[in-house]
Amino acid sequence: MCGIIGYIGSEDASPVLLKGLKNLEYRGYDSVGMATVCGSLRVAKGVGKINAAVQEMDLDNLEGSIGIGHTRWATHGSVSKVNAHPHLDCKDKIAIVHNGIIENYRELRTELESKGHKFASDTDSEVIAHLIEDYLESPEQRPASESRLGGCFEEACIDSFKRLKGSFAALAISEGEDRIVAVRKDSPLVLGLTDESVIFASDVSALLEWTKNVIYLQNYDVVVARKEGIRSYNLLEGEVSRAVNTVEWDMEQAKRGEFEHFMLKEIAEQADTVEKAIQQDESVINRIVEEVENGYGVFFVGCGSSYHACLAGSYLFSKLAGVHVNLARASEFENYEHFLTDKTLVFAISQSGETADILDAVKTAQKRRSKVIGITNVMGSSLTREGDDLLMMNSGPEICVLSTKTYTSQVVLMSLLACALAGKRESCIRRIKGLYLDIYNLTSKSMRGHLRDLAEELADKEHMYTIGRGLQYATAMEAALKIKEVSYIHTEAFAGGELKHGPLALIEKGTPVFVFVGKDNEDKIISNAQEVKARGGFIIGISGRNDPIFDYWIKVPESGYLNPIIQAIPMQILAYELAILKGLDPDMPRNLAKCVTVL
């Protein structure tokens, strides 16, 4: 959930840390803090988003070329300066930053308090600093460290890390030490290398300003970084060496450029990213098709927008290839464990590749020896290593907390796989390439103006609803999620046929209802819209042609089985315009973070 950064090199650490944290702010923006070593340990913290928080931080005091930083999304403990990272030991000589959840922190805290340790915060993270302190002060109580990496501080860190249960990416520094000690387990941590420095971050995008040469740390990896280089150790394997990878993204892709917000930039990029999503290795597609055909049972598993892409995919597999797909929200997937076999194929879909619920579902599938196909946008993420096969979304960095371009890329991949199963892969590729001009027009300034006018009519509404049938139902669900995420207007999606089974009770005069229309179910969904209209609802149609029942029409070209791609885009723009009209930050909606790394 949070963003962490670490630097050791020839420059002053604090400017690098601050830039890195700004690059990571989409991961958490409740509070921010940094610590550096220059003789003594120096710490500065603030509450709120970075630009506001730094106003109360003494950055001039943060001298030294070794440092760590953190931007927080609160899980344990309220939003406050005392709960902000970095966290310190009792003597204020050791500082740590941590992303993840320490599941056994209560047990560890009770043990440490019984030894006289005084805790300053309500967080689970603080136990790490006190554990390191305790092992340094009482070496006779430490288990014999197998690392022998050199130095009591390193061994105290390693022995402390071995005590932790849960998910964690953490960095530790200490007064009088010329190194950073890092660990990763079930929470992302990437290491960037330059000629003169080592930089840690919880996301590749934070490193692109300095380097494209990165090491993706694996579970239980510990890295000791000094100015002259790094040494690596794995808590389970002993000393290890990890490969250096070159990131294909560039810094310009991770910047807003001429756009006011990342959300708008990423919406506008979809004409290109949809086409990039089909650039897949044909042999991998053929292998997945063969596994579906020879397997017994297929599951699509996702969270949030990825789940809606899974829903669209389940309809596409049925309609185009006659293949039944079981659909599961990742957080509920464990309830299907008893149905899984070694012939079951599980598609795990996650933009970040680090979504905790998805990785938990993957473990459930692997426990039953089911095959796992990972679909993600981040090379080097946990999901890229956990699956039996892998498809990349190829969307480039997505910085806005809301998924836009990665959602449409996921639906593209679902369409491509369904068509490949039906023997129509090449025709699907041609049709998707043919969407370029339509998407370009949908993201134009004129469409934005049209949707801004609609947003002005809707911005004061408390409740809105979206309806659709079949593929349009999946789009209705994604549209409702986008609006509620960024504008905070309660928006709920229903299958059109379900209206008369309860939801019609919610309709009163002027209630906005978005109706997603596809050519294959036009008569039925228009009939549902008439039911709403009869109760005084305000009907907003999203379709290829205007219908007399619409009070407002959003023109979207009819695209058949590709409607879920094309119809989602104007709703992304509308959600953006609603946020702007309400004075909200569309890139950083309240209470949400981009990468959900805790269960």
Active site residues: 2, 594
Minimal CA–CA distance to 321: which of 337, 342, 305, 298? 298
Q: In what helix (H) or strand (E) does residue 571 lie, and over which residues does it extend?
A: helix 568-581
Q: Is 346 helix (H, G, I), strand (E, B) or coil?
A: strand
Q: Which residue has the tokens 């090491």?
A: 215
Give Cα 430 to chain centroid, integer Å.
Answer: 30
What are the residues facing 94 on neighbouring strands?
Answer: 174
Instruction: Reduce the secondary structure of 470-493 to three states and give it as a string.
Output: CHHHHHHHHHHHHHHHHHCCEEEE
Instruction: Provide CB contacts within 8 A for 387, sequence distance 6+.
Output: 348, 362, 372, 373, 374
Q: How many helices (H) and strands (E) does the chain have?
A: 19, 25
Q: What is the DSSP letter of 86?
A: P
The CA distance from 310 to 289, in Å, is 17
Strand (E) positions, 39-90? Answer: 40-47, 66-72, 87-88
Cα separation, 261 vs 437, whole angstroms: 23
DSSP track, 124-179: STHHHHHHHHHHHH-GGGS---S---SSHHHHHHHHHHHH--EEEEEEEEETT---
CA pair distance 359, 354, nearest whole angstrom: 7
- Exposed, middle or buried, 284 (CB in 10 Å: 0-12/13-18/19+)? middle
Gap between the Cα atoms of 297 and 516, Å rounded: 30
DSSP at 403: -
Strand, coil or helix: 256: coil
Contact 401, 593 (CB under 8 A): yes
* CA dist., res. 585 & res. 128, Å (int): 34
Kindly calculate the radius of gyration of the chain based on its CA atoms and give it in whole angstroms: 25
- Give the position of tokens 């970084």: 225
Taking Cα atoms as reference points, which of 376, 379, 380, 384 lies closest to residue 406? 376
- Give me the phi and psi of 353, to 5 degrees please: 75, 5
State the first-to-last Cα distance of the chain, in angstroms, to the nearest integer: 11
Q: Which two tokens stand for residue 363?
A: 């473990």
Amino acid at 345: L
